[in-house]
Each structure stands twice: as C-alpha cells, then as structure tokens.
Amino acid sequence: MDYELDESKYLYLLAVIPVLVLLFLLNLWWKKRKQRQFGNPDLVKRLAPERSVFKQSLKLAAVCLALAGIVLALVNPKTGTRTEKVKREGIDIVFAIDVSRSMLAEDTAPSRLEKAKQIVSQIINSLGSDRVGIVGYAGSAYPVLPITTDYSVAKMFLQNMNTEMVSSQGTAIGDAIAMSESYFDDPQTSKLVILVSDGEDHGQDSQDAADAAKKKGIKLITVGVGTTKGGPIPLRENGKVTGYKKDQNGETVVTKLYPDALKILADRTGGGYIYGGSTRAVTDFVNKSLGKVKKREFETKDITLYESQFQWFLAGALLLLFLDIFLLEKKTKWITRLNLFNEKEQ
C-alpha cells in the first residue's frame, strides 16, 4: 500500500521523547540518592509501602506514546486507497519578458520589471495544466526556461530575471517573438505568447515577427507596464540609487510606455492588449482569453488518491492522556496480592 506524509517536518518533534525519558531517569536517580541520605532504603520503603516505580514508568510510557500519536497526527500520514486515470489538457504559453534597462523605471511601483514579474507569477498561479516557457529580451532575446509543466521551477527562474542577463541593450521585440516561436514543438497544440513590455521598440521587424507568428497559429497577448508620462531610469550601487541615466547631452533620460505599439502587435495576431496597472485585471483578461482557446489533451496518467489517517493517531493519543489522568503512582492492590515478583516475605 502506498503512503505519503503531509508535513514530515513535524517528525523532528519526536526528539522530545528521549529527552523526557532521560529526565525521568535522572529524577529517579536523584530521588534514590536523597533517600540514601535520608536513611536506610528499606526503612524508606516501609514508610511508603504503596509507592510504585512501575506505575511511574507506566505513566511515562503513556505520555510518550500520546506525544508520539500527536506528532504523527500533525504529520498526517496518508495511505493510497485507489488509483484513477486523469486526463491533462491545456495549451502552450511562452512569456516574453522585457529586461531592458528601461524596465528599471519606477513609474509603476515597485518598478516596471518587478511589476512584470508579479503579473507573470499570478498568471502562472491561475493556470491549470498548461505548459509554460519563459524568454527574456532586451537588445536581443535570451532563452530562460523551455516549455515545462513545473510551475514552481518556472516561478523560480522568473524571480531570478534581471536587466544584466542580456548584455546588449534595446527592446528587440521581434527577436523575442521569433525565439518564442521556436519553443512550440507540437503543431497540434494551441500556442500563445504573452509579451510584457513598456513597448519601447520602433522597428518594423517586430510587426514582421508578429505576422510570421500569426501564420503559424500563434496568438500574442501584450501587457504594457509603465506610464505614458514616463519616468527616469535609476542607477543603483549596493542597492541605493546614486543617480539617473543621462543622454549624451547630460539630460536625464525619461522612458515612457508606448501602448499603441503593443496594441498593433497584438491585433496583427488576433490577440489582445491590456495595461498592466492591475495584476488582477491582467490575470482575469488572460484567463478569459484562454477560455476561448481550444485545449489539447497532453497525456492520460494514473494518479493515486490518498486518504488522511491522522484521526487514528489523534484518537489514540487522547485516549492515552485520558488514562494517564486516572493512573496513580500507587501500587494496585489486586496486582500486589498476586505477588508476581515475589515481593512478599515468605
């Protein structure tokens, strides 16, 4: 029978049990030592004839077993009761994220790039069984993560993206779309590219790339981050802003959002554009768009269904604690009469 543990970290609490046993033995040793100092051990035994070391040990065993039961209840062991066939279906989605220096502008808090990461992360959280990949781009495109169903790995790679990962500066949207196309390895699966950028690209190649993507059945959703008013590009050293990027004339560079350029690209592929000011609005927009896309079955696999068994351990622990309340440290009279250990004098 298969089994799994929900919260195995709680198993460390079992280390308390040997500590309790050690404290119990030290306490017994201390008591015997004090008894010898008080007087003859036989005399002390006669003065307290009903005192039972066995009962003390029994109470300790009950408490330790109860503690073990509580810990195992926290761990929540699960046993596999049956298997079911589950169909996985979805589409392939590539996130093309702008990592040019203009994305450091803070006209969208905390910055355009961090906002882009938040948006993509929330979209991934809302997905079901779709496959995702990530491309980063500035003056050229850079493959970050190939198509995968492991969302936790995707979010880990996403959080590590920064403006230093692509050496050439600029906003080569055309290269990003072209590289995203190379990620799609199954012609039968619906394909979507979600491009997050401030739209600072004035080249014809981006529109040509969008037209080429449409011919291959790829739709493009563009998400604009930043503001049309714009903002300066901060220069940082050891995490602190030391100034702002300037042009050749010594003037502070102001970078802006160009929504029209992003709208044109999305329209050319039959996709859509949305402003990325609200993460929730973008997520809802993407989910609504995905609902209109035909999903393809990736695979059918057997999964084991598990049922929690914590209740049995918890019930046993509570029963032992209940019995411990009524378990006195005095000798039981009817057991004493049996003289199992030849304790009575002949």
Mean pLDDT of 79-95: 75
Mean pLDDT of 300-327: 78
Mean pLDDT of 91-100: 93
Q: How far is CA 103 from CA 95, 99, 116, 294, in A?
A: 16, 6, 9, 33
Mean pLDDT of 171-180: 89
Q: What is the pLDDT of residues 318-335, one digit of tens each?
A: 998 888 777 665 555 544
Phi/psi for 258 (5° steps) reads -115, 80
pLDDT at 341: 43
pLDDT at 304: 64
- Could you tell me the pLDDT band of residue 305, with boundaries at 50, 70 and 90? low
Task: Output b/e per residue, 245-274; b: 16+ Cβ within 10 A.
Answer: beeeeeeeebbbbbbebbbbbbebbebbbb
pLDDT at 301: 59
Q: What is the pLDDT of residues 64-74, one digit of tens each?
A: 999 999 998 88
Mean pLDDT of 89-99: 90
Q: Which residue has the higher pLDDT, 264 or 46?
A: 264
Rounded to the nearest integer, the mean pLDDT of the chain is 83
Choice among 99-103, 239-243, 281-285 with the minimum mean pLDDT? 239-243
Mean pLDDT of 41-55: 60
Q: What is the pLDDT of residues 204-218, one digit of tens each?
A: 688 889 999 999 999
Which residues fall within 8 angstroms of residue 134, CB to CB, at 6 or more apart? 94, 95, 97, 120, 144, 145, 154, 157, 158, 161
Domains and CATH numbers, the chain: 3-76+309-338 (no CATH), 87-300 (3.40.50.410)
Token pair for residue 5? 């543990």
pLDDT at 249: 86
pLDDT exceeds 70 at position 275:
yes
Mean pLDDT of 128-134: 90
